[in-house]
């Protein structure tokens, strides 16, 4: 594989839903019993170790063909705890690449959280916090869901603000649960505007130190054309750089032989700039390499999953990673 040469710096920012990265230890505070040796998924140490190898292998390849290096930042969904993150960054494919992580336990009943991996040599976090999402039904019953992870930091000399999301699922039906994701979008935008009261994210000509470069990434459980994204986020100064990647024959996950692009990256208008020495958005893609796909059978071409129902398949994840490349002149 040839490594591209260029007169500018390039950095990959990615998002990956890793499909239930659980350890094998039963945590009585969450509903993780099925991911134990004698649980429903028969989750053994050998299966866990294979999962770590697969996920670390995938991460090590995201954007490599375009930049010649591993991702600077990777947002993750469906990680159980700090142990699995420690085990992940200790894998041979990642261990020598200066990765650290940011993670907070969320109220999700299953114990699956979001997290951020980052290369400490190019990204310097200065602040992070979980953004709690408040959802309740008509009877006032609280519906627990994942927190949004908010991080401020400096990437290759450019201040950035990152939000890692995993929005409520469609398990009870897309239309039935649509209001939940619309509400999460409202709460996300409230946090963004609170941090950016002057709407600097809309301005592409500010000096580096004055800009508010915002990156929103995640598994939104909605497609780019759905209300939560199209009306809830994009009109507020954001460009969905992954939206053009959704095709009839392509997406980040496949449900009942239909492609969806639930995994997306959105950037503030300020990241479409020509400010000297500033990062700017260059291109986005789905990392759907053949190694992450089913090779044969009726699901050929779809993501090679770890589980299909109760059946262990030993694959990577039921989602493909998405990524964006940023350049600096």
DSSP 183: H
First to last CA, the chain: 25
Q: How far apart are CA 73 and CA 119, in angstroms?
A: 7
* CA separation for the pair 166, 110 (Å, rounded): 13
Can you tell me the distance from the alpha carbon of 17 to that of 317, in angstroms, rounded to the nearest whole number? 7
Measured over the CA atoms of residue 174, residue 31, residue 292 and residue 55, the dihedral's sign is positive
Nearest alpha-carbon partner for 111 in 27, 220, 18 = 27
Residue 4 lies in a domain: no
Does any domain span residue 320? yes
Which pLDDT value is given to residue 171? 86
Alpha helices (H) along the chain: 45-61, 64-67, 82-89, 174-195, 227-230
224 in Cβ contact with 246 (< 8 Å) = yes
Q: How far apart are CA 99 and CA 46, in angstroms?
A: 24
pLDDT given at position 307: 95
What's the sign of the alpha-carbon dihedral 153, 156, 159, 161? negative
Closest CA to 83 of 115, 118, 125: 115
* Residue 299, domain member (yes or no): yes
pLDDT, averaged in runs of 10, over the chain (329 residues): 65 98 95 94 97 98 97 98 98 98 94 97 98 87 92 98 97 91 98 98 96 98 98 98 97 97 98 96 98 93 94 96 95
Strand runs (DSSP E) across 176-262, as ranges? 213-219, 238-240, 253-255, 258-260
248 found inside a domain: yes
DSSP letter at 54 equals H
Is residue 3 situated within a structural domain? no
Q: Are the C-beta atoms of residues 266 and 234 closer than 8 Å to each other?
A: yes
pTM of the model: 0.96
What's the rounded Cα separation, in Å, for the pair 16 and 319? 7
Residues 186, 171 contacting (CB under 8 angstroms): no
Number of residues that make up the chain: 329
Please give the tally of structural domains in the chain.
1
Residue span of the structural domain in which 320 resides: 9-328
pLDDT of residue 172: 83
Residue 1 falls within a domain, yes or no? no
Determine which helix (DSSP H) or strand (DSSP E) holds 229, and give its type and residue range. Answer: helix 227-230
Angstrom CA distances, 219 to 77, 113, 209, 318, stand at 7, 12, 30, 12
CA quadruple 67, 73, 76, 79: dihedral sign: positive
Rounded to 5 degrees, φ, ψ at 57 are -65, -45
Does 2 fall in a domain? no
Structure token digits, residue 323: 């990524």
User: Rounded to the nearest 5 degrees, what angle is found at the Cα of 243, between the Cα atoms of 237 and 244?
Assistant: 120
Q: At what angle do helices 45-61 and 82-89 cross, to 10 degrees?
A: 60
Q: What's 274's domain CATH number?
A: 3.60.10.10
Kindly state whether residue 44 falls inside one of the protein's structural domains.
yes
């Amino acid at each position: 594989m040839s490594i591209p040469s260029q007169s500018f710096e390039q950095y990959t920012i990615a998002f990956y839903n890793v499909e239930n990265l659980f350890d094998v230890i039963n945590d009585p505070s969450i509903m993780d019993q099925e991911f134990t040796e004698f649980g429903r998924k028969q989750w053994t140490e050998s299966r866990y170790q294979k999962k770590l190898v697969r996920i670390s292998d995938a991460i090590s390849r995201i954007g490599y063909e375009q930049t010649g290096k591993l991702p600077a930042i990777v947002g993750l969904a469906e990680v159980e705890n700090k142990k699995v993150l420690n085990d992940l960054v200790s894998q041979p494919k990642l261990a020598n690449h200066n990765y650290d992580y940011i993670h907070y336990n969320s109220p999700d009943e299953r114990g699956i959280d979001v997290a951020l991996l980052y290369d400490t040599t190019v990204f310097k976090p200065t602040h992070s916090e979980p953004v709690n999402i408040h959802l309740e039904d008509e009877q006032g019953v609280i519906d627990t869901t994942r927190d949004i992870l908010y991080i401020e930091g400096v990437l290759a000399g450019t201040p950035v603000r990152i939000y890692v999301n995993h929005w409520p699922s469609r398990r009870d039906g897309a239309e039935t649960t649509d209001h939940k994701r619309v509400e999460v979008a409202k709460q996300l935008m409230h946090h963004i505007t609170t941090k950016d009261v002057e709407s600097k994210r809309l301005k592409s000509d500010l000096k580096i130190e004055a800009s508010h470069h915002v990156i929103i990434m995640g598994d939104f459980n909605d497609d780019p054309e759905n209300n939560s994204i199209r009306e809830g986020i994009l009109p507020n100064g954001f460009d969905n750089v992954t939206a053009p990647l959704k095709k009839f024959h392509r997406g980040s996950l496949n449900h009942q032989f239909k492609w969806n692009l639930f995994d997306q990256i959105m950037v503030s208008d300020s990241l479409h700039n020509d400010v000297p020495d500033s990062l700017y958005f260059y291109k986005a893609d789905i990392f759907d390499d053949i190694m992450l796909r089913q090779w044969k059978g009726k699901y050929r071409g779809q993501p090679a999953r770890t589980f299909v129902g109760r059946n262990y398949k030993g694959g990577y994840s039921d989602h493909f990673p998405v990524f964006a490349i940023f350049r600096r002149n």
